[in-house]
Structure 1
Amino acid sequence: MARALEALSAREVSLYLDDISRSRLENGELQRLIEEDHVVGVTTNPSIFKKAITEGSGYEKTIRELARSEFSTADALRVLTCKDVRDAADLLAPVHERTGGADGWVSLEVNPFYANDSEATIAEAGLLHWMIDRENVMMKVPATDAGLVAVTELVSRGIPVNVTVLFSLDRYRQAAEAYMTGLEQAARQGHDLRAIRSVASFYLARLDEAVDRELDSVGTVEATALRGRVALAHAHLAQDAHDEMHGGDRWQELSGRHPGAHPQRLLWASTATKDERYSDTRYVTHLALPGSINTMPEKTLRAVADHGEIPEEPLGADRAEARKVMEDLQALGVSFDDIALRLEEEAVTGFDDAWHEILEALASRMED
């Protein structure tokens, strides 16, 4: 039933693969997903690279060569990740050209060590962008306070950015403002705004998991009725916020003066269901919003292809009902803002931990 993937694509939902590996690039699997399963982009993160480099194959020869050339572990990791991202970008270049730059993107996470250091984030992102040297690559920067400063500066330099680990509407609005400020500065510096793109990545399953845990601790009938409803309701409210900002005076003035400027797109991430009581396709089929991006691991992509059905009225799509879900959550004494902040911190820490583990494993393999 790959018809679901075709239907999503027909609704102008861009399907991205949340995975990358040397073997996937070399055995033609990514190319097949592009040709047959409507995949038009790739996202990565430190956890993905950890699995690819520590458990996958295809890196052995390069690692030996890097060790013999006396590369540091950190520089060796840059080489390995940039190579994978560059090759994926080359595979997706025809998509990027065909869609006029709307799709065909590959996202690479900036070293999570620097999540709270704007200057280091800017420097590392600039280095990675230069090393990869492909126009269809975005730098992933977390929406921390320091990260948002970096987003503005990177965009002002003409570097496309994926603003990641978004859990709240407040942070999303800040991310959108950071992007628009960067575009305004880029225009003053003479950059062609047509080449600059950005996405804002909302995490879904992680949000429901955390909220459901709080609801279970409340333990009332009302709390149980809200289980599994918050992430999707919040996503639809994010779409409203997106539409409102891009219909507002600031964007209208910016796009009027610079017709080539592109709105920041919404990207739905963390789409692999964590609770077995929920459908394994819910974060894809219930967010068939035209113009948005849905990035998913292959298991979720396969589930959507196999038994995904796009409902006439997606869960959370009624905006009045979505707002009521958030109000009911607050009425139960569950602080959404506290949860969102904690999740942001946990996500950054988790990627930091994964990066350390990659470096440790890579150092061991370079010594062999």
Structure 2
Amino acid sequence: MTTPTQALSDAGVSIWLDDLSRARLADGSLAKLIEEKNVVGVTTNPTIFHAAITKGHGYDEKLRELVTAGADAERTVFELTTSDVADACRLFAPVAEATGGVDGRVSIEVDPRKAWDTQGTIAEAQRLHEKVNEPNVHIKIPATVEGLEAIAATLGAGISVNVTLIFSLERYRAVINAFMTGLEKAKAAGHDLTAIHSVASFFVSRVDTEVDKRLAAIGTDQALGLKGKAGLANARLAYQIFEEEFTSERWKLLAAAGAHPQRPLWASTGVKDPNLPDTLYVTGLVAPQTVNTMPEKTLDATFDHAEVTGDTVTGTYAEANAHLDALASLGVDYNDVVAVLETEGLDKFVASWNELLADVEQTLSATAHGARA
């Protein structure tokens, strides 16, 4: 019997888990998800690492080592996160080998405080890549205006990149341009394009959260009838852009040199509105050459009861455009929505990072004094 996660894989969707911790690696639960639920990659972010490192005792031994070495909070976070990602990369190495590096990827994000610092991001990406030192690592770079040049430069150095926090269609086009510019730089520098991989992480549920809040404030029957649909419409139009850009003459030249396309990745796929189906952002975004990165709750729901009926994206573009037009007619400003979401997304990651550093500082102090319970 074919499971829903197998059906997703058969339809061209790669399932990546949006979570990582030392406990998952140590207890075999991540390996079990690879074996049983078709998980072929992992994504992380500052919020995920904050939860992993500050809960439980999975990091106690490593923390004691770092205290003895005199490490501060910054170095400790760097050592802990890169160690987890390197171990996960080794776990996924057989998947990477079997898929030619397309899957089996593990993502680690640059310090989010550098999101507006092009040169700082470039340096941080290089540092993370060298520290993890595994061929299937993805360096995650936010798609800020300042991040675009960093994305191109990092790819140009032969480093694989996960572009994160994409909300707008306009910014997605700019991300694809940065990706192709990076590959052109890599080619000119003599790098093997077949070894460079990238995904573009387009956030989904947060679009509905922001749009639906505005629709609820309008409060008319017409407005309320449009709730819960903007996230899918936005993502589907992103896939239309993917189809257009990756059949262009510019792309064909890179493909002829061995380049892999930058796959769209559906991020933020946990459903936040309890009135919506819990697998909405999975079953509604089935299309070839895509990635869906899911929190475990969404993965479990998908495995349990998702109805995968094949491609649900191709051919939906007119309907998706009509939905965005309907929102605009009610005064929901698309450009303002995506600007707010980018700012909020970055602020959340920076806050998580600062909380992580503060908590690690406290933990280091407690560990040094033998007071950690």
CA contact under 8 A between 1:42 and 1:107: conserved in structure 2?
yes
CA distance in 2 between partners of 1:278 and 1:308 (Å): 13
Report the Cα distance in structure 2 between the residues aligned to 1:213 and 1:265, rounded to whole angstroms: 30
**Aligned residue for 2:363?**
365
In 2, the alpha carbon distance for the partners of 1:190 and 1:315 equals: 37
- The CA distance in 1 between the partners of 2:4 and 2:273, in whole Å, is 22
Question: How far 1:314 moved relative to its partner?
Answer: 3.8
Aligned to 1:186: 186
Q: What does residue 283 of structure 1 align with?
A: 281
**What aligned pairs does 1:343-354 form with structure 2 within 5 A after superposition?**
343-354=341-352
Q: Using the alignment, how far apart are the partners of 1:355 and 1:206 within structure 2?
A: 20
2-structure distance, mates of 1:138, 1:69: 28
> Segments of 4+ in structure 1 off by > 4 A?
none
Name 1:153's counterpart in structure 2.
153
User: Residue in 2 aligned with 1:310?
Assistant: 308
| 1:264 correspondence with 2:273 | no
Correspondence 1:182-331 to 2 at 5 A: 182-256=182-256, 258=257, 260-311=258-309, 314=312, 318-331=316-329
Q: Tell me which amino acid in the other structure corresponds to 1:94.
A: P
Amino acid at match of 1:366: L
Deviation digits for residues 45-103 of structure 1 (CA, Å, limit 9, x no counterpart): 00000000001331001001101110121011100000000010000000000011110
Give the Cα–Cα distance (whole angstroms) in 2 for the partners of residues 364 and 10 of structure 1: 47
* Aligned counterparts of 2:124 and 2:40: Cα–Cα separation in 1: 26
After TM superposition, the structure 1 = structure 2 runs for residues 55-66 of structure 1, keeping only pairs within 5 Å, are 55-66=55-66
Shift, 1:315, TM fit: 7.9
Residue of structure 1 equivalent to 2:371:
none
* Amino acid corresponding to residue 69 of structure 2 in structure 1: S
**C-alpha distance in structure 1 between counterparts of 2:104 and 2:316, whole Å:** 31
Distance (Å, rounded) in 1 between the aligned partners of 2:161 and 2:30: 23
Tell me the matched-pair count. 366
- Give the drift of 1:146: 0.9
Q: Are 1:285 and 1:308, in contact at CA under 8 Å, matched by a contact in 2?
A: yes
- The secondary structure found in structure 2 opposite 1:19 is coil
Measured against aligned partners, the alpha-carbon deviations of 1:91-136 in whole angstroms (never above 9, x if no partner) come to 0000000011110000001000100001111111100100000010
Indicate the SS of the match to 1:226: coil
Residues 271 and 277 in structure 2, CA contact (< 8 A), matched pair in contact too: yes
1: CA distance, partners of 2:305 / 2:254: 43
Offset of 1:317 from its aligned partner?
Answer: 5.6
* Alpha-carbon distance, 1:316 to partner: 9.1
The root-mean-square deviation of aligned C-alpha atoms, in Å, is: 1.3
Unpaired runs of 5+ residues, structure 1, are: none
Deviation track 1:237-260 (CA, whole Å, cap 9, x = no partner) reads 11110010011121123323x1x1
5 Å-filtered alignment, 1:76-155, equals 76-155=76-155
TM score, norm. by length of structure 1: 0.97
Q: What SS is found at the alignment partner of 1:106?
A: strand
Partner in structure 1 of residue 33 of structure 2: 33
CA contact (8 A) 2:287 2:311 kept: no
What percentage of aligned pairs have identical amino acids? 47
Which one-letter code corresponds to 1:327 in the other structure? D
Change (3 A) 1:27 1:88: same
C-alpha displacement at 1:312, in angstroms?
6.1
3-state SS, counterpart of residue 92 of structure 2: helix
